[in-house]
Amino acid sequence: MIENKKILVIGAGLSGISVATHLIKNKVSVTLVDNGINFSSRIAAGMINPLVFRRMTKSWRVDEFIPFLKTFYSSLEKTTNASFLFGVPIRRLFSSEQERDFWLEKEKRADFELYMHKVTKADMHYPGAKNPFGSARLKETYFIEVNSFLTNTKQWIKTQGEIIHEQFDYNSLVENTYKGVLYDEIVFCLGYLNKECPLFGELPLDQTKGQTLTIKSLTLPENLSLNRKCFMLPKGNQTFKIGSTYEWNDPSTHVTVEAKNELLENLSYIIDETVEVLDQEAGIRPTTRDRRPLIGTHHKHKNYHIVNGLGAKGYMLAPLVSKEFVNYLLKGDKLDPEVDINRYYRKNNP
């Protein structure tokens, strides 16, 4: 039965591509519609960091996400004959004594062993950057080379199904038929542009702007990512990506001088050098107040679905949450209540 299904996915960012990939692997016929305007998946640094530094906690469901994403991206690398998953050591430069104490407490715990190296004397005096409170090294840290991932997976999807480059026209959607073609299911993966969707636009998805810089530095180390106030990711030839801002009041995709200054100021907590700014980019994260994705089925139209709200850690979450969505769609598995959009429908229609 599954093999005869025909599914329309709208949006070829990280969420749409992940959903389409799992569908194709289940032998479903997929048509992907995308307008080519991507200001999130393409702008992202693609960092995968298992910890939340504020209180040194583990990221939500990280014990499941990390092993799954490694299998997902490396299997796609083989399928597409491309490289996009890379390991990168991350060193946290502690921002206070309290933060260092949180780390020292957690590093003793068995459930953190997978993600934390024990702090050594050398970590307390790391010579590669400013670290008045010492530093520590994480384990299980990666980055996705996002352009390679997006380009190569889209090319592969094209060989397995269809990609239509256009603005989705809601007026051409009548029940399950889009522009005269009948689909079994329709999945909206619109990222921050979900607000414009007449079907799911009412869901509380915030647009959280983020800006990054590409800089040239003569002093930053090129073999690891440093993190304090901002992250820096080495990109080769003494160039580095620095990010990211969090801006809640400006849904535009323009870069701003304020953000550039903020990022350079944050970088000054890591090095004293006056760096050369080579580029600046802006994008919008699709975020939710409870920091959980928005996944599920429309409360009235049972063949219309949404996968969205991947937030600031999309590259970590997308592989598994999209797989769980596809299992829900094709096999009737239950959705994790934490991601299910019913949490909002229930609240508004008690």
Ligand X SMILES: Cc1cc2nc3c(=O)[nH]c(=O)nc-3n(C[C@H](O)[C@H](O)[C@H](O)COP(=O)(O)OP(=O)(O)OC[C@H]3O[C@@H](n4cnc5c(N)ncnc54)[C@H](O)[C@@H]3O)c2cc1C
Minimum distance from CB of 219 to ligand X (Å)? Answer: 23
Site for ligand X, rule CB under 6 A? 10-16, 33-35, 37-38, 40-41, 43-47, 167-168, 189-193, 210, 212, 243-244, 283-286, 308, 310-316
CA angle in degrees (0–180, nearest 5) for 261-264-266: 110
When the beta carbons of 134 and 328 are compared against ligand X, the nearer one is 328
Minimum distance from CB of 207 to ligand X (Å)? Answer: 10
Minimum distance from CB of 143 to ligand X (Å)? Answer: 7
Residue 95, SS3 per DSSP: coil
Cβ within 8 Å of residue 69, ≥6 positions away? 48, 85, 142, 315, 316, 319, 320
Q: Could you tell me if 221 and 273 are in contact, meaning their C-beta atoms sit under 8 angstroms apart?
A: no
When the beta carbons of 270 and 284 are compared against ligand X, the nearer one is 284
When the beta carbons of 234 and 286 are compared against ligand X, the nearer one is 286
When the beta carbons of 33 and 56 are compared against ligand X, the nearer one is 33
Minimum distance from CB of 276 to ligand X (Å)? Answer: 20
Distance, in Å, from the CA atom of 14 to the CA atom of 19, rounded to the nearest integer, reads 9
Q: Could you tell me if 151 and 76 are in contact, meaning their C-beta atoms sit under 8 angstroms apart?
A: no
Q: Which of 223, 240, 239 is nearest to 231 (CA)?
A: 240
Q: Could you tell me if 220 and 240 are in contact, meaning their C-beta atoms sit under 8 angstroms apart?
A: yes
Burial class (CB in 10 A: 0-12, 13-18, 19+), 255: middle
When the beta carbons of 186 and 193 are compared against ligand X, the nearer one is 193
Q: Which long-range contacts (CB under 8 A, 24 or more apart) does 127-131 make?
A: 128/91, 128/220, 128/221, 128/226, 129/91, 129/93, 129/220, 129/221, 129/226, 129/228, 129/270, 129/271, 130/93, 130/269, 130/270, 130/271, 130/272, 131/93, 131/94, 131/228
When the beta carbons of 20 and 220 are compared against ligand X, the nearer one is 20
Q: Which two tokens stand for residue 49?
A: 């960091």
When the beta carbons of 221 and 314 are compared against ligand X, the nearer one is 314
Minimum distance from CB of 81 to ligand X (Å)? Answer: 23
Minimum distance from CB of 350 to ligand X (Å)? Answer: 29
Minimum distance from CB of 121 to ligand X (Å)? Answer: 31
Residue of this chain nearest to ligand X (CB atom): 13
